[in-house]
Copies of this chain bind each other. A is one copy, B any other.
């Protein structure tokens, strides 16, 4: 056996490894051929000689050779032995740089990882019930549960959602108009890609949900931002031809205004004149702690130009990844077919589980319990926050949602809110920087404090700790 093979086969095979010896030998030879250490046409050692050299059985060598022959790396010539194939294209065998067919424009800076502020009281989630239903969904499984399903989502879940939203939010919709998605971001992306003409402008609230601003980035549509006032978003001023205005009338994100009826009707009037749709992002409307919620914009409009988006991320838990989109009937076909093309259909088992959770009354009970718990936590939070942090922040009165807005007091030399958010994290407080919700409008400094996912007895301690950390930081 020549020196080329002596080099190639030292230090030899690993008899202790999990990988079978014939596969080790194959990998060694394959690699050597691809890296041209064994050139095309090179004759391989006879099987008996190689078996002796490597101290393995001849059958092992035979198996490796045969496999590489089948793959085309090696070839036999009648009576002459085994050779590295002559007709492997040369260029493919060389080490090379990656393709240039890759987008290389710079990515926008990534936000620092911080605890999220918009969490419900996760300690109240009935994990035991969920676990029981989860096992049951599978114990009784029929074959249909394994197969292709409706790209619009599981029909009984869509029916349960229609019934719930009609009662809770005055939403007017048949199950046929509902499409189950993985949440607001997929809802929005599917909608914009399939339904809204690419030359129509998509308009977002400013300030508004930063996740929405990320979601528009890869769309072909022109995008612009539009300001809000105390009543929520203002009807956009003329400019471009609008296709979709994204609004949060129940509770403006991040500032928390509930949009009064008059403004709702003005927006509908604007949409009608403009020929634009409104996307009503009703992201946490379940959580109103005083009074009754105002009916959805979709219900006022009768579902003609308002598309309604909701999810179970806030009312159950974020990792469930089930949301929905309610669209006018003439939009359904286009949207569902686009979903089928780019995401097939949503996983079925969690949809069945959630349907049973709703139908057996667990969902309503859970929401009622959360409302009571959140209300109590909000009240404790506001008192403690005023006491410990009132010198640094103006806390905005809140009676809905999952976060409290705290504006930085102008006179105080506080660090930027992005830094404050990280400091709050050290005190185990989820607090998003307010400034990240601003796009073109002048950013205000502040924090969006999550209050709902902290046990009552912890709230005061954590706010006190944040106050201590801030006083170290600022000298006050």
Task: Report chain B residues within 8 Å CB of A7.
Answer: none
Task: Report chain B residues within 8 Å CB of A276.
Answer: 99, 101
Q: Are B71 and A272 in contact (CB under 8 A)?
A: no
Task: Report chain B residues within 8 Å CB of A234.
Answer: none
State whether the Cβ of A57 lies closer than 8 Å to any Cβ in chain B.
Answer: no
State whether the Cβ of A269 lies closer than 8 Å to any Cβ in chain B.
Answer: yes
- Given the known interface contacts A135-B132, A321-B347, A349-B350, the answer about A218 and B342 at a Cβ–Cβ threshold of 8 Å is yes
Task: Report chain B residues within 8 Å CB of A12.
Answer: none
Most chain-B Cβ atoms within 10 A of its Cβ — which of A99, A138, A186, A291? A99
The distance in angstroms between the C-alpha atoms of A319 and B151, with both chains bound, is 11
Q: Are A319 and B292 in contact (CB under 8 A)?
A: no
Q: Are B89 and A265 in contact (CB under 8 A)?
A: yes
Q: How far is the CB of A217 from chain B (nearest CB, A)?
A: 6
Task: Report chain B residues within 8 Å CB of A67.
Answer: 292
State whether the Cβ of A6 lies closer than 8 Å to any Cβ in chain B.
Answer: no
State whether the Cβ of A410 lies closer than 8 Å to any Cβ in chain B.
Answer: no
Looking across the interface, which residue of chain B has its beta carbon closest to that of A102? B195
State whether the Cβ of A260 lies closer than 8 Å to any Cβ in chain B.
Answer: yes
State whether the Cβ of A44 lies closer than 8 Å to any Cβ in chain B.
Answer: no
Task: Report chain B residues within 8 Å CB of A322.
Answer: 347
State whether the Cβ of A345 lies closer than 8 Å to any Cβ in chain B.
Answer: yes
Most chain-B Cβ atoms within 10 A of its Cβ — which of A97, A147, A200, A211? A147
Q: Are B300 and A101 in contact (CB under 8 A)?
A: no
The stretch that binds B, out of A325-333, A373-381, A456-464, is A325-333
The distance in angstroms between the C-alpha atoms of A135 and B133, with both chains bound, is 8
Task: Report chain B residues within 8 Å CB of A186.
Answer: 342-344
Task: Report chain B residues within 8 Å CB of A333.
Answer: 107
State whether the Cβ of A348 lies closer than 8 Å to any Cβ in chain B.
Answer: yes
Most chain-B Cβ atoms within 10 A of its Cβ — which of A67, A197, A343? A343
Q: Are B135 and A87 in contact (CB under 8 A)?
A: no
The distance in angstroms between the C-alpha atoms of A291 and B110, with both chains bound, is 48
- Given the known interface contacts A110-B337, A197-B102, A346-B321, the answer about A139 and B146 at a Cβ–Cβ threshold of 8 Å is no
- Given the known interface contacts A271-B99, A341-B214, the answer about A349 and B134 at a Cβ–Cβ threshold of 8 Å is yes
Looking across the interface, which residue of chain B has its beta carbon closest to that of A235? B89
State whether the Cβ of A442 lies closer than 8 Å to any Cβ in chain B.
Answer: no
Of residues 35 to 71 in A, which have CB atoms within 8 Å of B's CB atoms? 67, 70-71
- Additional pairs, 7, CB under 8 Å, beyond known A98-B328, A99-B275: A27-B170, A34-B300, A130-B138, A185-B341, A185-B344, A215-B341, A220-B220
A: residues with CB less than 8 A from B are: 19, 27, 30, 34, 67, 70-73, 85, 87-89, 91-93, 96-103, 107, 110, 116, 119, 122-123, 125, 127-128, 130-132, 134-135, 137-139, 141, 143, 145-149, 167, 170, 182-183, 185-186, 189, 193-197, 200, 211, 214-215, 217-218, 220, 241-244, 260-262, 265-266, 268-269, 271-277, 291-292, 294-295, 300, 302, 304-305, 317-322, 328, 330-331, 333-334, 337-338, 340-350
